[in-house]
Amino acid sequence: MTIIEKLEENLKKMNFTKYEAKALVTLIKYNNLDASELAKYSNVPQPKVYETMEKLNTKGYIDIISEGRAKFYKIRPKHSITQIFDDEYLEFKNNYEEIKSEINTIYSIEKDTEIPFIGISGEKQLQGYMIDLIEQAENRIVAFLHHDYYTQSLIEAINRVSKKKDIHLIFHDKNSSENLKTVILNTNIYYLKDQIFTKIKTFFQNIPNFIPNIKDSYGINILTQVIDKLNQNFGLLLDDNKKSIFIIPFPIKYPIAIVSTLPDLVNFHMNGVDEILKNSIKL
């Protein structure tokens, strides 16, 4: 690609039309042309020359000189052309910074809103909110999550802040806690004394023994599906008693969670986690 072709392509990226780019580059090269010459050297169709040059004149890139019926198109001095680009760059830069600021504000409103709670779904969305909560927490983080939720991204987020914040991570079993302790640094790691999920599952399995005809009911079938994967689907992550992410144990493929700043709900979650901590063993 020649330098002429490169300039044309770059001008088109700056919202010049194809004909405007061709005409401007041609005038930069030849300086002063009439309509027929411009059409010849630029390959801009003659019927489009007048319209195109009027637009370039309005933008300040060229001068139109009339001599009788004839019109000549003259490129403006180099310093004038470059000044226009400098001004447009500064305007673009200001707009760019403003756009970035607006994006950051909108993200902040979305994720730090004082609305009592919002619902989220999907693994990627959930991971993003968990990472944000961990990074934005001021002092204390408590999590009771299945080990599958600890992706590389989540582990890296914990390790980035673990020296500055009091982090408590509770796991369902000793093996999971020991395995993750090798990669999660400077944190308090626990595992459950009793397999409470197994006890809950056993309890629900025994319900049909006490209530006749309930085994095939729709409600008990849904509950059975929930209980069957309760330990994998359930999760809770809290930040300084100010925000909680409660992963609802629905038996579906994609995780669903509630992110809440509602004090009563956050305190309820914190009390629950504190009870779990009391019945956990620290590594």
pLDDT at residue 204, as a whole number: 47
pTM for the structure as a whole: 0.51
Helix axes 18-30, 46-59, angle to 10 degrees: 80
pLDDT at residue 196, as a whole number: 59
CB neighbours (10 Å) of residue 104?
10
The answer to whether the CB of 189 falls within 8 A of the CB of 145 is: no
pLDDT at residue 218, as a whole number: 47
Q: 82-123 pLDDT, tens per residue?
A: 888 888 888 777 777 776 666 665 555 445 445 566 777 778
The mean per-residue pLDDT over the stretch 199-217 comes to 52
262 CA to centre of own chain: 24
CB neighbours (10 Å) of residue 49?
22
The mean per-residue pLDDT over the stretch 173-186 comes to 86
Going edge to edge, which strands form the sheet with 256-260?
117-121, 256-260, 243-248, 235-239, 140-145, 166-171, 188-192, 280-282
- Per-residue pLDDT band for 20 (boundaries 50, 70, 90) equals very high
List, in order, residues 6 or more apart from 73 with CB less than 8 Å away.
Answer: 23, 27, 32, 33, 34, 35, 38, 53, 62, 63, 64, 65
Range from 28-37, 70-79, 84-93 carrying the lowest mean pLDDT:
84-93
Cα-Cα end-to-end distance for the chain: 65
The mean per-residue pLDDT over the stretch 72-87 comes to 88
Residue position matching structure tokens 């934005």: 136
Which residue has better confidence, 50 or 223? 50
Going edge to edge, which strands form the sheet with 32-34?
32-34, 70-75, 62-67
43-52, 140-149, 260-269, range with greatest mean pLDDT: 43-52
Residue position matching structure tokens 């004082």: 114
Structure tokens at 205: 């399995």
Residue 17 scores a pLDDT above 70: yes
Q: 233-282 pLDDT, tens per residue?
A: 677 888 876 888 888 776 666 778 888 888 888 888 888 888 888 888 88
Closest CA to 167 of 179, 176, 154: 154
List, in order, residues 6 or more apart from 79 with CB less than 8 Å away.
Answer: none
